[in-house]
Chain A
Amino acid sequence: MGFENVIAFIFLYYLRRQLKTKEIPERWRQPINYGLIIVVSLAILAGSGLVNDLLLKFLSILLISYIVYNIFTHPEFSGTKSLVYAALPLIAVSLIRDIFELAMPEFFKTWDKVFDVASFFAFIWLVAMYITYRKQKKALLAEKIKALEREKEFQITQTLKAKLEVDVAERTAELVKQKEELEKALEELKSAQAQLIQSEKMASLGELTAGIAHEIQNPLNFVNNFSEVSQELIDEMHQELESGDLEEVKAIALDIKQNLEKIHHHGSRADNIVKGMLLHSRSSLGEKTPTDINMLADEYLRLSYHGLRAKDKSFNADFKTDFETNLPKINIVPQDIGRVMLNLINNAFYAVNDQRKKAENSDFKPSVTVNTSMNEKENKIIIKIADNGPGIPKQMKDKIFQPFFTTKPTGQGTGLGLSLSYDIVKAHGGELKVESPAKEGKGLPTLSNGQAGTVFIVTLPI
């Protein structure tokens, strides 16, 4: 039996397969092909019985030995080694059996069965080894595929990473560009805001002019009247001197002195108003000066009232002041806080006057109150500007401090007044709040006819 040929064929067949999968270098193709031809030729010759059996056996053994030798000595065949180990017992048994068969036929005949059993076990060994080998090979292959996949994944991640880096760079550049654009826009907005503030100032100055005219006209009238009357008094005094009524002369002198005080008083009143007007229109940053809040509030209350009155003949409202008399002077920018007061007072007058027009013929008495007080514990001065108007609807209350929010008809309000006021008070470290409906309290207008009323509360630190 020529197991050697079968095994040699299997080996060569395997090696050829490995050639295809490139596990073995190409230079082995020819030797393997030749080997296959030789094996097949040997098998055919053995089957035909034409050639000497002994010679064929010898050639077969030589061939298998040569193949086994090569597999063991060349590292590129390491994958086939385990197959050789599997077949080795069978080859050995086959060899020994052949040797015995040739050299001692008598002995071989008696032990024939033993060789058969040995061959059988060697064959079982081969099959078992082969199965294990296949399994290992499969596992190895799976491992290899996995490794390949991992490699592929790694490659993909690398490309993704590179792409991502490019994307990030692009995005960063875009963001930087956007940031620059935004900064530019912000600059533009800032300058636009400055312009708006200035025009709001000028607009409120325009609102003021009528009030200012009245407020200057009144003291000027007194100045003129009192100086005129003083002249007359001096003439009278001369007459009394002539007639010698010294008591009357003294009385007249006192009157003249009083008149001069009045002239001075009304002169300074006009002076203050002009100064206030100049301060109001000034666009440069105002300086903080110790200011009497009551005086400031009174001044702007009158300016507002007379301004509105001069503009709209039908306008009328009562106004009251309720001042805490011993307030300390506080460090503020007077024209800025003045603007806040003017705004709040104008709004209050606007609200009550509007209500008066709507509720014509009813006994609604429009009234605006300015109240000052002090919170000694917290070192704060509180200014309340209250009206008995219709109040602010809940849904508008959140919006009134937003720039450009206005309830006035187009062209009558910039919508910047309260927003600017809010900023000014905040810049002074204070607070501007609104209460509507107003809670009734000391110094606030009495609410009647279902009027909700509104109170704006300015709190300033001392």
Chain B
Amino acid sequence: MKFLVVDDEKDVELLFQQKLRKEIRNGSIELKFAFSGNEALEIMEKSESEEVMYIFSDINMPGMTGLELLDKLKAKFPQIPVSMISAYGDAENYEKAIELGAKEFFVKPINFENLKVELNKIIEDKEPKKE
């Protein structure tokens, strides 16, 4: 299972890697990181689209915002679920994200318990197909 995390804060990479240490070690998930909307799009276009199963994106990023990225991703890869992570958990951002097709909306600081529940759901959804 490959996940893509998009955030302009580079330390997010380290945090995710440690939080999902076990899952990464036992190979149930693989993490990829992009530090801007453009980079995320580049990664998605280069890699086989099926490879990435799920995308987490920050909203507040310079240049292309997470919401703009969401819009573009939904247009190009409608089958891949995208969830938003934002420090601003206000109604405006939430509604815009849902309207654009976001699956979930996580508020920073990230509650990794909830995130893991979401990840496991995805993994479980996919596993029956594998079997």
A residues with CB within 8 A of B: 214, 217-218, 220-222, 224-226, 229, 232-233, 236, 255, 258-259, 262, 266, 305-306, 309-310, 313, 316-319
Judge whether B87 is part of the interface by a CB distance below 8 angstroms.
yes
The reply to whether B60 and A222 contact each other, CB–CB distance below 8 Å, is: no
Instruction: List, in ascending order, chain A residues with CB within 8 A of B79's CB.
Output: none
User: Which of A220, A221, A229, A262 sits near B19, CB closer than 8 Å?
Assistant: A229
Are B108 and A221 in contact, CB atoms less than 8 angstroms apart? yes
A318 B63 Cβ-Cβ under 8 A: yes
Set of chain A residues within 8 Å of B109, measured between Cβ atoms: 220-221, 224-225
How far is B87's CA from A221's CA once the two chains are assembled, in angstroms? 9
Give B66 Cβ to nearest chain A Cβ, in Å.
Answer: 11
Binding site for A on B (CB under 8 A): 9, 11, 14-15, 18-19, 21, 60, 62-65, 68, 87-88, 92-93, 108-110, 112
Closest 8 CB pairs of A and B: A318-B63, A221-B109, A229-B18, A319-B62, A225-B15, A221-B108, A224-B109, A316-B65
- The smallest C-beta distance from A263 to any residue of chain B, in angstroms, reads 10
Closest partner residue, chain B, to A313 (CB atom): B92
Determine chain A's interface SS by DSSP, over half rule.
Answer: helix
In the bound complex, do residue B60 and residue A258 qualify as a contact, i.e. CB atoms below 8 Å apart? no
Instruction: Check if B14 sits within 8 Å of A258, measured CB to CB.
Output: yes
- Tell which of B18, B60, B62, B88 touches A259, judged by Cβ atoms closer than 8 Å: B18
A-B contact pairs, 11 of them (CB 8 A): A221-B108, A225-B15, A225-B19, A225-B109, A229-B19, A233-B18, A313-B92, A317-B62, A317-B63, A318-B64, A319-B63
* A214 and B87 within 8 A (CB): yes
Contact with B93, one of A222, A233, A313 (Cβ below 8 angstroms):
A313
Distance in angstroms between the alpha carbons of A438 and B107 in the assembled complex:
41
Complex contact B60–A306 (CB within 8 A): yes
A221 to B110, CA, bound (A): 8
Residue in chain A with minimal CB distance to B93: A313
Complex contact B63–A309 (CB within 8 A): no
Q: A224-B109, A318-B63 are in contact. Are A218 and B15 (CB under 8 A)?
A: no
Which chain B residues border A229 with CB–CB below 8 Å? 15, 18-19
**Are B62 and A310 in contact, CB atoms less than 8 angstroms apart?**
no
Complex alpha-carbon distance, A262 and B60, angstroms: 21
Indicate if the CB atoms of B60 and A309 lie closer than 8 Å: yes
Least distance between B7 CB and chain A CB atoms (Å) = 10
B18 neighbours in A (Cβ, 8 Å) = 229, 233, 255, 259
A43 to B54, CA, bound (A): 158
**Complex Cα spacing A306 to B9, Å:** 13
Return chain A residues, CB-CB under 8 Å to B68. Answer: 316
B87 touches A218 (CB 8 A): yes
On whether the beta carbons of B15 and A226 are closer than 8 Å, the reply is yes
Tell me the smallest distance from the CB of A16 to a CB of chain B, in Å.
119
Question: Complex Cα distance A88/B92, Å?
Answer: 134
Q: Is the pair B88, A310 in contact by a Cβ cutoff of 8 Å?
A: yes
Residues of A within 8 Å of B112, CB to CB, are 225
Q: Which residues of B contact A318 (CB under 8 A)?
A: 62-64
Verify A225–B110 contact, CB threshold 8 A. Answer: yes
Please tell me if the beta carbons of B108 and A262 are within 8 angstroms of each other in the complex: no
Which of B62, B65, B87, B109: most chain A Cβ within 10 A?
A: B62
Residue of A nearest to B22 (CB): A236
CB distance from B6 to the nearest CB of A (A): 15
A217 touching B108 by the CB < 8 A rule? yes
Whose C-beta in chain B lies nearest to the C-beta of A305?
B62
Which residue from chain B places its CB closest to the CB of A213 in the assembled complex?
Answer: B87
Q: How far is the CA of A85 from the CA of B8 in the complex (A)?
A: 129
Q: Are the C-beta atoms of A217 and B62 separated by less than 8 Å?
A: no
Question: How far, in Å, is A253 (CB) from chain B's closest CB?
Answer: 13
CA distance A233 to B108 in the complex (A): 21
| Given known A-B contacts A313-B92, A317-B62, A319-B62, A222 and B87 have beta carbons under 8 A apart | no
Which residues of A sit under 8 angstroms from B11, Cβ to Cβ? Answer: 222, 262, 266
What's the minimum C-beta distance from B108 to chain A, rounded to whole angstroms?
5
- Seed contacts A221-B110, A316-B63; 13 additional CB < 8 Å A-B pairs: A217-B87, A218-B9, A222-B9, A222-B11, A225-B110, A229-B19, A233-B18, A236-B21, A259-B18, A306-B60, A313-B92, A316-B62, A318-B63
- Closest B residue to A309 by beta carbon equals B60
Q: How far is the CA of A220 from the CA of B11 in the complex (A)?
A: 12
Q: CA of A229 to CA of B113 in the docked complex: distance in angstroms? A: 12
Q: Which B residues are in CB contact (< 8 Å) with A262?
A: 11, 14
A365: shortest Cβ distance to chain B, in Å?
8
Give the nearest-CB partner of A233 in chain B. Answer: B18
Q: Please, how many angstroms separate the alpha-carbon atoms of A226 and B110 in the complex? A: 11
What A residues does B15 contact at CB under 8 A?
A: 222, 225-226, 229
A214 contacts across to B, CB distance below 8 A: 60, 87
A214 CA / B112 CA spacing, docked (Å): 21
Q: How far is the CA of A226 from the CA of B64 in the complex (A)?
A: 27
Q: Please, which residue of chain A has its CB at the minimum distance from the CB of B108?
A: A221
Chain B contacts for A316, CB-based, 8 A: 62-63, 65, 68
Which of B9, B11, B21, B87 gathers most chain A CB within 10 Å?
B11
Complex Cα gap A266–B10 (Å): 12
- For the complex, what is the distance from the CA of A255 to the CA of B109, rounded to whole Å? 20
CA distance A276 to B14 in the complex (A): 28
Q: How far is the CB of B58 from chain A (nearest CB, A)?
A: 10
Docked Cα-Cα span, A164 to B64, in Å, equals 78
Taking CB atoms, residues of chain B closer than 8 Å to A258 are 14
Max chain B C-beta neighbours (<10 A), residue from A229, A306, A317:
A229
